Structure 1
Amino acid sequence: MSERLQEEKRMEQIRRKERNEAHLYMSVQVLLEDSFEGHQGNDLYDPDKVHYRIYRVKKQTTIQELVEQLADSLNYPMEQIRPWPFSYRSNQTCRPTLIDLESDLHKTVLDVSENQNPWNVFVEMVPPDSGLQSLPSFDKDSDVLLFFKLYDPRSKRIHYCGHHYMPVAAKVQELIPILNERAGFLPDTDLVLYEEIKPNMVERIENYSEPLEKVLEELMDGDIIVFQKDERDDMYDLATCREYFKDLFHRVEVTFCDKMIPNDSGFTIELSQRMTYDQMARAVAQRVGTDPYLLQFFKCQNYKDSPGHPLRCTYEGTLKELIVYCKPKTPKKIFYQQLSIRINELENKKQFKCIWVGPKLKEEKELILYPNKNGTVADLLEEARKQVELSENGTGKLRIFEINCNKIASGPKEDTLLEALNSTGTKVYRIEEVPKDELNLAEDEMLIPVAHFYKDIFSTFGIPFFIKGEPFSKVKDRLLKKLGIQEKEFEKFKFALVILGRPQFINEDVESFMSLQDFKTHTSQASTAPRPWLGLEHVNKAPKRSRFNFVEKAIKIYN
């Protein structure tokens, strides 16, 4: 225990000393050539992704001492390594630059780095398979350090092909054999060369017979030559490295979230801001594993993290115009949902929500139909026919009613345009199969609306319906059969004719005939006055909250 306490005390003293002397040290972040492999962007590496070898050195350490430390750490003789510090140019690039070992060898790291902390340095080493005992000499006045990248238009990828010292007076064509060898091409392969100047600026080198110092713009150590085979431009999507880097410049990470999943974290893919709607849809469909035409996209609302209006599949803008609606300095987000019908068909259709009830009036279910936008009620009923199960020996004919606060009213005629239908407030539309006895009504027959209530005439509940009017005793028998309940329970029901919200209870002891005139709106009443209806008064034995409620929206609480 005593030894453990002594060790902890010693470590604490070391940490305290490091904190007190922290201002005397700086970090040197070293990159070797293998750090450039696989990099697909501008310059030689991505500072956010690369893994550095970090050395903590005193600011007063000389370059001589730093090189000795690096040689010892990398297990290479000093003559087989050469440091090339990275420096930022005025054109937004970061390239290796020369340390003049003759004049700078005895200067401090702080002075040579110009007080950069951390200081990024590329350490060049003799290739293990080269057989060289030391690095080639480099004349700062007549030589230049060039880096090479190969662009493959087939795979749309960049391959790092090393570096080379070249005399500044050497002609461009002298690079061709070196580049073909590095790429593994035949020596006489025709190449196209480009100079990578800065992000979104890659210029083709035209004159191969001129010296490098004339052809390359402001020739400096760390310049990058990008080359590729000389092939037809129309063979590939990004046929040249210029197009590749232009596409890279416009790339952005976009998160796609499923609109139907609350708080969906989604998935992120890298896309070009120049992409069209079709290109974006194909990229997302490939990730989701579906057809591009079975996806619908929604812009992110201005300064809100929620979906806005849906995008039409004929959208002619670019991805850049879609993501401008996202909050600044936050991940770009677009919402989507998977469809059961193709998006081009959906956009020519109108989404219509209604409810379906079976012949026994026991259950209601929600239907989401997609009739044509310029269609009629007849088209809507035809769409419903595809989703519902009709009675085995039924009429096979459908009809539509309006439901409002558990009361029923006649629906629109079949030739009514869908754009005239309006589900507002508590009003919904209900579709059902026409019973056989209600299919063909005589001139002296009509359907009368029926609804359930208890005590208060405005406290309606249950599933309302229509029934054919006739002598009351026959209506009662028809009601019993339609409701499918026990006679003992049905005996507790009271019946009332409800006109303008006032019930007139029917005397069951006297044989009465239900006059159809009683169920018609009187001419003295306004055209918007509710039609009289037959009320069934009884206790509501259903749960207080209906199992199916298509008007109320649930309150969702997320942890």
Structure 2
Amino acid sequence: MNPIYHADTLSPGNDMIVDSEDLLNDAEAEKDDADIAIINPEDEPAYRADDFEGMKELVLPDLQEQPPILETQVHNWAIENWRDHPRRDHGPIFEAGGHPWRVLFFPNGNNVDYASLYLEHAYPEGNPPDDFTCCLQFGLVVWNPDAPSIYQFHTAHHRFTKEEGDWGFTRFVELRKLYTTTWDDSGRYLLGDNYTANITAYVRIVKDETGVLWHNFNNYDSKKETGYVGLKNQGATCYLNSLIQSLYFTNAFRKAIYQIPTQDEETLQNSAYTLQRLFYQLQTSNTAVGTNELTKSFGWETRHIFEQQDVQELSRKLMERMEEKMKGTQAENVLSQLFCGKVRTYISCINVEYESRRVEDFWDIQLNVSGNKNLEDSFKDYVQVEVMNGENQYFAGEQFKLQDANKGVIFETFPEVLHLQLKRFQYDIDRDAMMKINDRYEFPETFDAAPYLSDDADKSESWVYQLHGVLVHSGDLNAGHYYAFIKPEKEGWFYKYDDDKVTKATMREVLEENFGGEYLMPNGTPQMRTKAKPLIRQMSAYMLVYIRQSRLDSVLLPVTNEDTPPHLQKKLDEEAALREMKRKEREEQHLFLNCKVITDDTYRAHGGTDLTAFDRIYSEEEPAAPRYYRLLRKSTVKELAAKIGGDTGIDPRRIRLWAMVNRQNKTIRPDGPIPDMNVSVEEAYQRLGGSKSAELRLWAEIAEEVNAEGDAVWPATPSQTNGNAPKTDLIVLFLKWFDVESQSLSGAGHIYISREKKVEDLVPVILKKMGWTEKTQLRLFEEIKPNMIEPMKAKQSLKAAELQDGDIVCFQKADAKSSESDRESVTHLTNQLTLADNDDRSVSSPKSSLLSKTSSNSSEKPPSSKSSVALDRIDNAQQFYDFLAHRREVKFHPHPTRNANPEQWQPFELILSNKHSYDQIAAKVGEHLNVDPTHLRFWTVNAANGNPKASVKRGQSQTLNTILNPPYSTFSNANQRPDALYFEVLDISLTELDTKKALRVVWLSEGMSKEEPFDILVPKNGTVEDLIAALIKKAQLEDEEKAGPIRVYETHSSKIHKILSRESSVLGITEYVHVIAERIPEEDLEPDTELIQAFHFQNEPSKSHGIPFRFKVIAGEVFSDTKKRLEKRTGIKGKNFEKIKFAIVKRSSYSKPTYLTDDSVLESMLAAEDDMLGLDHVDRSRVVRNGADLFLK
């Protein structure tokens, strides 16, 4: 009895596990499987464990990878007494491949009820050289020395390294089979007498040609090992990475891309610039590169890009875009020279001298895989000649009339770089789905294209092509993986580019493993034929790249950094330096503390609530942005003041820093000055920061007075802890000005004032600070928090008003028309003081302005400030704060299908309030578009695809906030964008629209082959008669008296649901049906006409499609004549009509169609009144229905 064995079985860790019991069970199960071929055991050779040469054939079978064999060694270890060995033991050391080896032995198992055996290197102290790597195939055999025919063995292969120095079998053989269970009918045990045994190690050293044979790729560095880097897998990028790598290593293409001038358009919207960036990064980066910049510049969304186009379309679109960019540059025409050939389509008469020909450019060739064994067969199939004779004769003009002719294509020239698209994916009409063809299809390393050229082609130069790239798909249609094999240099290796991993590849990996079809045996022979389905390869080539051998030097010319545009190198080097700096910052983050400082200048420019917006991301040039410092935690506050002084041009001695704290009302205000300027910023942060953020937030106060030595003289405050300061009740208040005229809010500095003073005492101070006359009247408010702005009482003391350090007082000029109720908060005082320096006036923040903002691509000019202020003017600071709390920037886009002249409108943006009603939103949009706001309807935007989602209902309770953020979720408002709306300009007002019913009617003209949709508005109390009248007017049709009556019917699931009478109310037409209108055919108008319902389906009646119709049944008419009427009725002509199969279909959902022949009589085949005529043909609209149009990018 021969032992059952299993080759190439690996476990995930250092211990290789092969369960012999499972293997035995599997083998016995296979004997019972009727699909497995029965092999006669007598035909198998009998092996003896003491025949080492013979056992090699069994223990070391051929490997699938077929690596070259360097050396084979056999080592035998005699075990005297199995039970006497320790728990872990080692066999004698032997050498193979220049390395020492030994067997690692666990006689009683490595924590399992099995004996465990491993092979390990035998370097002293288990410490091999750092570069130790050895690929070997090995087998371990335990056998009875008294009966060599009794043995157990397992075989494996492994890449031994310093980290993985042992490999083997934890479950080599069950312990009970060693001692208590006889091995076979001989009655003997696996162990010999006195528990003796032999352990033989068979070790075969193989050559690691690629450096990655059986590699686990832990810590693998593609750039270090190969000199190349891959592309990141960024999700759903499919074949894009493979295509980009193929084009990148077409060096002439890369050089041409570099020659496109992009120095004046260094934006990520420029596709040529992003492709240059990508190529340069592939050229210089040490790690994998991303493709997001490229896909975004092309407007490709990864969710949709590959649903709508195959690799051929993707490649062609990329080429077209680059050709546009190359026009007028030194790279013009380079792409056509590289990738474009010429093909001639001809029809040549056989018996007369007449030929019609057309020559076209081609950029790639699509070759059939199905039915062809190899590339040569596909080319022969491509250029095969079709004879046109019999009924298919060719009309050769009036002179020759109909003639027998040869029809075909032939190539006039091939390009230098030949892209061959292998049609691995084809539509299966029976399955109604795309299917992958996994047939074996061979392609050579070189092939001669000359036989496929026309006789008059220039053949003075060789047309032999060299394989340069193989793009591979592994998996099926619905799930798979893409990678490529590319040969970057003329004389060199192929490399496998598998997303971010690059490895060397053998020619076997490039060719044989990508032919598809059945797996071959290691010796190259096909699998043994059995009843079971053979094992089919899931990976196969779908695109081949060949380069003309005589042009290899010009196509694969060297590309160096000198070929790259200098501005590109500079830009990317700067970005790389910035990334390195940020990386270093992250590593040293624990040593540094981020600090944000507000000054009087940043406060003046701030146009919102509080003193600044610490959490907002500002651009560097914004004057309101807090100053940012990255400080060593051990640096002092004094050093920080020096940095601030250097930036602002102020003597650091005049700078005092206040710690900002988070108040309970969610505001951030100064709490008190830092008394000791010599403490570290870390200590200041810990003791006085009071901020829960990860940064130190400070206010830099600038002293207005200095002493004779130039040191600052500071007002004392209650919160000040300086022991030398006198006791005082002064508090520091921040002033904020609401400018009614410019409709803006801005900081106006700070003041010190006694808490015992009254609110009215603030007025002269403010007038002096602002430089206003003493007659100026003010209204004062306290900004407690963003949504709490309270008017201040003139006679109330600041102490009674509970003001403290860091509070904000907002003021505005009082309107002479202010109501008496507001007079208490308005103080009328005269003041002789004037402001000496009037340069400190605050600047209006653009973010606070009420003026409508328009995007740069809008064709309209933004409304003027004067008109906008007049429309939106807010006279009260409280109301303005309310607006700031509820303002919202909304993007408006023209509806892509419902506007009469969509090109007339451009997208734009408006700043609105969340409280705006529907009518107020319409007024704003109407003002911008210069249209009547009553004629505007809005639609929400689907966040998933950017399409219009649902129309917005006009209602009294509707606000901008409830429109964009519905308070409850429904199917219609789920997954909608919160920052955008579509607008539709109506022909009538919304009020009038509410009295109408909107219906989409499909008008059929030219039989059933042309469908024209129209949106019709009919009074809600109207009838189908009114609908027909409106359709005639909208579609500009001839009236019914001249052209014939019109029929209207409803369809559902592509079947007729109801024929609508002219008196039917339009209110009865639901949104779940389609409304179809057509001229009634003349034959249908004849008296006593019997009509049958007809519909389209594909394969099964349940898979209905298209528009159904009614068709006249003529008594006794054979179906060959009926088909002629059907051809006229449907408008489907020629070959498309010939492909239709006709059947009688019962109403029952589960009935099978009864197909008709030309001899059938339709009338006699109809058994029931509701029988239907079915037209079985391919649904041509399927791709259109499943496609996705992106309106918003």
TM-score tier by shorter-chain length is 0.5 to 0.7
1:275 aligns with 2:882: no
Match of residue 612 from structure 2: 45
CA distance in 2, matches of 1:390, 1:273: 46
Cα pair 1:402 1:430 within 8 Å, conserved:
yes
Cα pair 1:274 1:318 within 8 Å, conserved:
yes
Match of 2:813 among 229, 232, 257: 229
Match of residue 11 from structure 1: none
Match of residue 295 from structure 1: 937
Deviation at 1:207, TM superposition (A): 2.1
Equivalent runs, 1:119-198 vs 2, <5 Å: 119-125=696-702, 137-140=714-717, 141-183=728-770, 185-198=772-785
CA distance in 2, matches of 1:390, 1:296: 30
Q: How many residue pairs get matched?
A: 500
CA distance in 1, matches of 2:643, 2:1011: 81
Match of 1:398 among 1030, 1046, 1057: 1046
Q: Structure 1 stretch 115-124 or stretch 54-63: which is displaced more? A: 54-63
Give secondary structure in 2 for the equivalent of 1:314: coil
CA distance in 2, matches of 1:412, 1:54: 73
CA distance in 1, matches of 2:1091, 2:582: 91
Equivalent runs, 1:522-537 vs 2, <5 Å: 529-530=1169-1170
- Over the aligned positions, Cα root-mean-square deviation in angstroms equals 5.7
Give secondary structure in 1 for the equivalent of 2:1186: coil
Match of 1:246 among 849, 869, 882: 882
Give secondary structure in 2 for the equivalent of 1:51: coil
Equivalent runs, 1:374-385 vs 2, <5 Å: 374-385=1021-1032
CA distance in 1, matches of 2:1179, 2:586: 67
Cα distance change of structure 1 residues 447 and 371 upon mapping to structure 2, 3 Å threshold = farther
Equivalent runs, 1:434-473 vs 2, <5 Å: 446=1089, 448=1091, 464=1109
Cα pair 1:457 1:503 within 8 Å, conserved:
no
CA distance in 2, matches of 1:18, 1:506: 82
Match of 1:81 among 655, 660, 681: 655
1:213 aligns with 2:799: yes
Cα distance change of structure 1 residues 430 and 205 upon mapping to structure 2, 3 Å threshold = closer
Match of residue 411 from structure 1: 1059
Which has the greater radius of gyration?
Answer: 2
Please tell me the residue identity of whatever aligns with 1:169: E
TM-score normalized by the length of structure 2: 0.35
Q: Which runs of 5+ in 2 are unaligned?
A: 1-580, 619-623, 718-727, 820-869, 898-906, 1147-1152
Cα distance change of structure 1 residues 406 and 67 upon mapping to structure 2, 3 Å threshold = closer
Deviation at 1:31, TM superposition (A): 2.5
Cα distance change of structure 1 residues 206 and 498 upon mapping to structure 2, 3 Å threshold = closer
Cα pair 1:146 1:225 within 8 Å, conserved:
yes
Please tell me the residue identity of whatever aligns with 1:239: D
CA distance in 1, matches of 2:714, 2:1057: 97
CA distance in 1, matches of 2:638, 2:1144: 105
Please tell me the residue identity of whatever aligns with 2:596: Q
1:554 aligns with 2:554: no
Match of residue 95 from structure 1: 669
CA distance in 2, matches of 1:19, 1:499: 71
Q: Structure 1 stretch 252-261 or stretch 145-154: which is displaced more? A: 252-261
CA distance in 1, matches of 2:1096, 2:918: 54
Deviation at 1:62, TM superposition (A): 4.5
Please tell me the residue identity of whatever aligns with 2:611: L
CA distance in 2, matches of 1:422, 1:75: 74
Cα distance change of structure 1 residues 468 and 172 upon mapping to structure 2, 3 Å threshold = same
Match of 2:1003 among 351, 356, 366: 356
Give secondary structure in 1 for the equivalent of 2:919: helix
Cα distance change of structure 1 residues 365 and 398 upon mapping to structure 2, 3 Å threshold = same
CA distance in 1, matches of 2:1008, 2:639: 92
Q: Which has the higher contact order (CA 8 A, sep 6+)?
A: 1
Cα pair 2:597 2:700 within 8 Å, conserved:
yes
Q: Structure 1 stretch 74-83 or stretch 241-250: which is displaced more? A: 74-83
Cα pair 1:356 1:432 within 8 Å, conserved:
yes
Deviation at 1:401, TM superposition (A): 4.2
Please tell me the residue identity of whatever aligns with 2:1060: P
Match of residue 695 from structure 2: 118
Please give the per-residue CA displacement for 1:485-511, whole angstroms capped at 9, x wherever unaligned: 9xx99xx9xxx9989899999999xxx
Match of residue 204 from structure 1: 791
Cα pair 2:758 2:797 within 8 Å, conserved:
yes
Give secondary structure in 1 for the equivalent of 2:1018: coil
Cα pair 2:703 2:714 within 8 Å, conserved:
no
Please give the per-residue CA displacement for 1:326-375, whole angstroms capped at 9, x wherever unaligned: 79999735654525444434443333233222376663322332323332
Deviation at 1:138, TM superposition (A): 0.8
Please tell me the residue identity of whatever aligns with 1:175: L
Equivalent runs, 1:314-333 vs 2, <5 Å: 314-322=955-963, 323=965, 324-325=967-968, 332-333=978-979
CA distance in 1, matches of 2:586, 2:1082: 93
Cα pair 2:757 2:798 within 8 Å, conserved:
yes
Deviation at 1:402, TM superposition (A): 5.5
Cα pair 2:784 2:790 within 8 Å, conserved:
yes
Deviation at 1:194, TM superposition (A): 0.8
Match of residue 603 from structure 2: 36
Q: Structure 1 stretch 385-394 or stretch 240-249: which is displaced more? A: 385-394
Equivalent runs, 1:497-512 vs 2, <5 Å: none
Please give the per-residue CA displacement for 1:458-513, whole angstroms capped at 9, x wherever unaligned: 899998566798999xx99x96997699xx99xx9xxx9989899999999xxxxx
Please give the per-residue CA displacement for 1:5-62, whole angstroms capped at 9, x wherever unaligned: xxxxxxxxx9999999865543433332221233232211111135343344454545
Please tell me the residue identity of whatever aligns with 2:936: L
Please tell me the residue identity of whatever aligns with 1:245: Y
Percent identity, aligned pairs only? 23
TM-score normalized by the length of structure 1: 0.68
Cα distance change of structure 1 residues 328 and 268 upon mapping to structure 2, 3 Å threshold = farther
Give secondary structure in 2 for the equivalent of 1:43: coil
Deviation at 1:557, TM superposition (A): 8.8
Please tell me the residue identity of whatever aligns with 2:1065: L
Cα pair 2:591 2:633 within 8 Å, conserved:
yes
Give secondary structure in 2 for the equivalent of 1:249: helix
CA distance in 1, matches of 2:749, 2:883: 24
Cα pair 1:497 1:506 within 8 Å, conserved:
no
Match of residue 1019 from structure 2: 372
Please tell me the residue identity of whatever aligns with 1:124: E
Cα pair 2:759 2:793 within 8 Å, conserved:
no
Please tell me the residue identity of whatever aligns with 1:197: I
Please tell me the residue identity of whatever aligns with 1:416: S
Give secondary structure in 2 for the equivalent of 1:228: strand
CA distance in 1, matches of 2:1006, 2:917: 50
Cα distance change of structure 1 residues 446 and 182 upon mapping to structure 2, 3 Å threshold = farther
